[in-house]
Structure formats: structure tokens, C-alpha cells
Amino acid sequence: MIELDRVTKRYGNSIVVDDLSLAIRDGEFCVIIGSSGAGKSTALKMINQLIPLSAGVIRIDGKDAASVVPEELRRRMGYVIQSIGLFPHWTVERNVGAVPALLGWPAARIRDRTRELLVLLKLDPEGFWRKYPHQLSIGQQQRVGIARALAADPDVLLMDEPFGALDPITRDALQSEIARIHRESRKTIVFVTHDMEEALKLASRIAVMDRGRLIQAGTPLEILASPANDFVRDLVGQDEVGIRLLSVETVGNRLRRGEAAPHQPIAATASLRQALSRMIAERTDRLAVADAEGRPIGALHLSDIVRR
Amino acid sequence: MLLVLACIGLATGLGLAFLTHAPNRLVSGRPIPLTAVVGGASLVALLPGVALLAGPFLPQRRSAHRLVAAAAAAFLVALLWRAGAQAAALAEIAPRAARTSLGGGFWGLFICAALALVDAEHRLRLRPSARFIAGAAVAGAILLLAGSGALDQLAIVREYAARRSVFADAVIRHVAIVFGALVPTVLLGAPLGILAQRRPALRAALFPALNLVQTIPSIALFGLLIAPLSALAGYFPGLAALGVAGVGVTPAVIALVLYSLLPIVRNTAAGLDAVSAASVEAARGIGMRRGQIFRYVEMPLALPVFLSGLRIATVQAVGLVAVAALIGAGGLGAIMFQGLFADALDLVLLGAVPIILLALAADALLDLAGERGRRRPA
């Protein structure tokens, strides 16, 4: 549990983070979103003490973060940044093993852990571990960056616009990767972005910030369905609200159990947006729905998508 | 480039005297052209020269560059061989005091061939280690030639033979002064560079001051140090006992430290400047302490730039020590000036040529160290 309790950051007269209170529960994927200058990166960097607080307190599992040696705190939290920041003179292996080495793990254990992470991030461990960062594509570099953050198996992962510099295809692949890692590990992830699409795709909870203040915090559905003010409404994109609502709900929620329908079935875990897309593409108003094993379990009608 | 070199080489090689022969070392000699030095079987010595002349007209491929490099290296050795052989032939019929010196034609050809070698290495994009091996090979061949006695009758070698121990002492002293200045410079300059990089105010004050020192001519700086150091040694006899004096090694070392500080401080700061902010932020973010960030991230990434500063400082110091001979610091410069004052050109060369070779060797060695530092590319 990470609690930001009335946290403020001032630089001279300008207030960058203003009286921010936010509690992030264990296992949550919390996305902090806002336009540039909203104070979201500053808020993130205060969690691992990279930026000292002007006022307020941050508690991690009930303990004041300021009472811990900052370096030790940071070694227990993975940290991923937009500019990646791999060490150019170190191999992939040494980059990934950096935190375990700081923690004094034995060499054999570091090596095993490094291989394990390269597999997890879908980087072939045989070809990769000897390479230097400049020999990798940007997408591969950020995969290594995520592996480095995960190396010492931290409970918390802090990510500062990690996919902001990637092309759309690579970004999409890495978003799926981090979503899978979150699903499988249940780590607490605090993720900063300015991209609402990304927030809706990844977040279990979204915190909207504007000019240093927290405007609204809630599930993606809550943010979409009842935006707190015009700023949030604009951020969501008024023209896109309907489509985005469809993208955060699954077919399973609207399913007519037991009913049969023609066509190739769609998975119950697919989003309503994907279902609508299939209907339009296949010029039909009914789709068969299948469970995880591919067994038909029901049907979805076009009207089910529209109706509440 | 190669064409220009070929033209200059051709003009000086044929136009100027290859060797000069004089009955003793004080009078100027009779010129001996290249055409008198080669003939018959020894014409083979000109073959690499012909290859070099053809160089500019070859297609610009790696094989052509390799040919030029090999021809240039062979020509350097061949030129010395012919000069030595001719000197030996002349010595058999001439009196003992007679001298055979290397002439303008020899130097023109020799320098053009050396530049052609460097140019070809550059075009081949040889790594420092490969360049080092090539240089060592040429130097080794020349040393073998000298060791065989083939060059013994050349005036410069005879000057050397007449003062072997003086020469050896001068080389050792020269190198010792360079080291004696560079060690304190690095111990002082590297921390100063680190501080200057972290504190812009210090940088703003320090860099113009060091730049100013660089603009003072070395001979003037040596002169400026004589008075205060003499006074110091006069007031504190303890210092004088330690060797502090207005002339000699002390002012030389002090002046060298002052000159060498700029490249060391500037390159230390520039090397640290070049470390990417992202790497430092990541290092902080994963929990490295300040000292660890410096040791594991900043220092290794700044090292190549620092080493290139050390290279500049070393080469510069090798040259400056020569001038320091004027204030009694000794070294190879002393031999050079002795020759200058005695109007004995070969003695000047006996001082000057090893200074050039020392500078080249220091440059190559530090280039090699820089390559090792760069092996993990930034």
C-alpha cells in the first residue's frame, strides 16, 4: 500500500504538486494521467524519494518513506523511464543484473535471474545477454529497461511515461507485455502517461491530475461514465466516450447464456469494442461467444452492446 | 592528398640534395643527389617509391590503400638503407673527420612517405591497435637496420656514438620531467575537472584562467618563474635543499603542470558532460549511491574523453620539456640547443628527432589506452 497524504512540492513560488492525497492498494495498476506540467512525474518521483517533499507524507506499507535510506527504498521499487537510461558501457546482462548486484546477490543467482527475465520479456537469452544497448532497437532497449526494473523482484514498479518514445506498434506490444506481467505477478504498478488510450487499456484505476492537483480517481469505467469536470471530459475525448466505454467492458458481461448464433465465436474476454468491430466487418448483428477453451457458451446481440 | 604528397616528394627528392658530404662538421657540405645514391642493384630501393607515385592513380579500394601503406613503410626503410650505404662508401675514401649528413632531398622523401603511410592508415580506418602495430613494425625495421651497423657512418649516428651516455641520460631525464609534471597534473586536474563540472561558478572562473596560461609563450613562462622561485629558495633554505631553484627542473615542472592543466581539467569536465542524463537518472532510480553512480556510470563513460585530454597534455609536455632546456632543465632539448649554438646541424637532429619520436610514441600508447577505454562503445 502506497499512501500519498497531502503531498506538496514547491519550487520557489511555483507549486508543482498541490496537496495530493492518493492511496494505491497492493496489486493495483494505477495510472496517473494529465497533460504536461500537471505534476504527475513529480508525484511519481516523490514516491521513491528522487524528489524530496515540500510538505505532506508518503507512507509505504504504513511506514514513512522519508524514514528509510533512499537508496534502499529505490532498490525495492522498480523504476522505468521514458528515456530508458540503460548503461551504454554495460552488456544487457550486466544492465539487467544491476540491482541484484547492488544488493550483493551471488553471481550465479544474478545470472539465473537475468536469463529468467530475458525470457519473461521475450528477449532470446542466448543471443541477447552479451549485446550492448546501442545494438538493440528502442523497443528492445525498453524491454531490457523493464527487465532491469524487475530484476530484484520488487513489489512496486514505478513507470514514468515508459512507452512515450516508442512507435505505435512497439508501444502496443509493450503495453500488452506489461499488462501480462501485471496479471501474472500482481505487482503494484504506478504508471504515468498523458495518453488516455494507454490509461484505459492498462489501468485498474486512473488518477487524473491537472496543475498539480488530483481532479478525479476511479476505475476506467467511472472516469468514462462520470467525468468529474470539463477537464476530465476533454481528456477522455467527448467524441470517443462511447467507443472507449466499449473498450473497458468485456463481452462476458453482456452475454446471453445458452443462446446459439452462427459465425466464428468471439472470446468472452474480448472487449465490447472488438465485438462491435467484428459485427460491422462481418455485417451481422449477432455473434457466438466462446469461453477460454473455445466452447460456445452463448451469443451477443448488437442491441446488447448499446443497451445498459 | 596522395597526389600532392607525390608531387612534393618528387620535387624535393630530385631537386634537393639527398645527402651532403663535408670534410668536417663545421663547414657546409657538397650536395649528393639521389641519382648518385642509387644505381645498379640498389635501384630496387626505389621500387616502393614508384609504387607510391602510382598510388594516386589507383582505384580507391582497400587493396590500393593497403598497397600504399606497405610501399610507404618499405620506402621509409629503403631510404635510410641507401643513405647509410652511401655514407659507408664515402667513409672508406674520406678522412675520419668527414661527415655525411642527411639532406633536404632525404627529408622531403622521408616525410612524404611517412605522411602517405598515415594517410593510408586513415583511409583504411585502422583501429589504434592496428596503427600501433604498423608503427612498431616500421620502427623495429629501422632499429634492426641501425643495429646491423648499416647506418653507422651517417653523421647523426656518429654524433650519437660520440655521446652515448649523455644521450641516454638526456632521454631518461626528458621522460622523467614529463612524468614528474603529468602525475601532479592528473592528481590535481582530474578532481578540479570533476568539481568544475558540478559547479558552474568554478568552471566560469577556472577555464578562462587556464586558457590564459595557455596563451603565455612557454619561454616567457619559464622566465617569469625564475625570480619568484629564486626568492623562495633564498628565504627558505629547506626548499633549496629539496632542489627548488629559479632555474633547472623545478620551474620546468611547475610551468608544465600549468600548461597541462587545461587539457586535463577541460576534458575531465567535457567527458562528464557527455554522460547521458538518462543513465544518471536511471542509476539514481535503481538505488545507486552517489559514489556508485560516479564509479560505475560517470567515470567509465567519461574515461575516453579524459584519456584524449591526457594524450594532448603528454604530447604537449614532450615538446615543452625541449624548451625547458633553456632554463637548465636538461633533457633532449639540451642536446638540441648545444647543436644550435655550435652550428652543428646533426647534433640538433640528434636532439630533435628523438623528441618527435617520443611524442609519437606517447601519442600512440595513449591512443591505444583510449581504444581499450572505448571498447564498450558509448
pLDDT one-digit tens code per residue, B246-298: 777 888 888 899 889 999 999 999 999 999 999 999 999 999 999 999 999 99
Cβ contacts below 8 Å, chain A against chain B, sum to: 72
Residues A87-117 pLDDT 10s: 999 999 999 999 999 999 999 999 999 999 9
The answer to whether B223 faces chain A, any CB pair under 8 Å, is no
In this prediction the ipTM stands at 0.84
**pLDDT-based confidence at B373, cuts 50/70/90?**
low
State how far residue A40 is from chain B, nearest Cα, in angstroms: 16
Residues of B in contact with A102 (CB under 8 A): 286-288, 292
Q: Is B367 exposed, middle or buried (0-12, 13-18, 19+ CB in 10 A)?
A: middle
Torsion angle in degrees (nearest 10) through CA of A133, A136, A142, A143: -110
Which among B276, B286, B378 has the least Cβ separation from residue A79?
B286
Q: Is B292 on the interface with A (CB under 8 A)?
A: yes
- Residue from the list A83, A89, A148 with its beta carbon closest to the beta carbon of B378: A89
Give the pLDDT mean for B38-51.
79
Residue A99, min C-alpha distance to chain B (Å):
6
Mean pLDDT within B182-195 = 94
Which residue among A72, A79, A132 sits closest to B285, beta carbon to beta carbon? Answer: A79
Q: Does B279 touch chain A (CB under 8 A)?
A: yes
pLDDT band of B375, cuts 50, 70, 90 = low
**What Cα–Cα distance (Å) separates residue B182 from each residue in B85, B261, B313?**
41, 9, 8
Closest Cα in chain A, distance from residue B305 (Å): 14
Alpha carbon of B274: minimum distance to chain A alpha carbons (Å): 12
The percent of residues in chain A predicted with pLDDT above 70, rounded, is 100
Question: Which of 301-320 (B) contact A at CB < 8 A?
Answer: 301
Chain A closest CA to B298's CA: distance in Å?
10
Asked whether the beta carbons of residue A102 and residue B287 sit closer than 8 angstroms, the reply is yes
Q: What is the pLDDT of residue B294?
A: 94
User: Per-residue pLDDT for A25 more than 60?
Assistant: yes
Beta bridge partners, A18, equal none
Residue B378 binned pLDDT confidence (cut-offs 50, 70, 90)? very low
Q: What is the 3-state secondary structure (H, E, C) of B84-136?
A: HHHHHHHHHHCCCCCEEEECHHHHHHHHHHHHHHHHHHHHCCCCHHHHHHHHH
CA B34 to CA B84: how far, in whole Å? 13
Task: Decide the pairing of beta strands A205-210 and A213-218.
Answer: antiparallel
* % residues pLDDT > 90 (chain B): 26
Q: Is A220 or B374 the better-scoring residue by pLDDT? A: A220
Looking at the predicted structure, is the pLDDT value of residue A7 above 90? yes
Report chain B's mean pLDDT, rounded to a whole number.
Answer: 86
pLDDT tens for B102-129 read 888 888 889 999 999 988 888 888 888 8
How large is the average pLDDT for residues A6-19?
93
Cβ of B287 and A75 within 8 Å?
A: yes
Does residue A162 register a pLDDT over 90? Answer: yes
Fold of the domain built from segment(s) B164-374: MetI-like fold (1.10.3720)
Q: Which domains does chain A have, with CATH numbers?
A: 2-244 (3.40.50.300), 250-306 (3.10.580.10)
Residue A124 pLDDT: 79
What residues does each domain of chain B span? 2-159, 164-374
On chain B, the residues whose CB falls within 8 A of the CB of A87 are 279, 282-283, 296-297
Pairing of strands A2-11, A55-60: antiparallel
Q: Which residues of A touch B290 (CB under 8 A)?
A: none
Looking from the CA of A100 toward its CB, the CA atoms found within 13 Å total 22
Question: Which residue on chain B is closest to A87 by alpha carbon?
Answer: B279
Instruction: Note the pLDDT of residue B2.
Output: 78
State whether A102 and B301 contact (CB < 8 Å): no
CA distance A103 to chain B (A): 10
- The backbone torsions φ and ψ at residue A280, rounded to the nearest 5 degrees and listed phi first, read -65, -45
B238 vs B12, higher pLDDT: B12
**Among A192, A220, A155, A204, residue whose Cα is nearest residue A28:** A204
Is residue B291 less than 8 Å (CB to CB) from chain A? no
Contact criterion met (CB < 8 Å) for A74 and B376: no
Q: Are B279 and A86 a contacting pair at CB < 8 A?
A: yes
CB of B189 within 8 A of CB of B261? Answer: yes
pLDDT value for A238: 76
A89 and B277: CB-CB below 8 Å?
no
Q: Do A81 and B277 touch (CB under 8 A)?
A: no
List of residues 6+ apart from A90 with CB closer than 8 A: A98, A132, A133, B376
**Placement of cell 455473434 in the chain:** A287
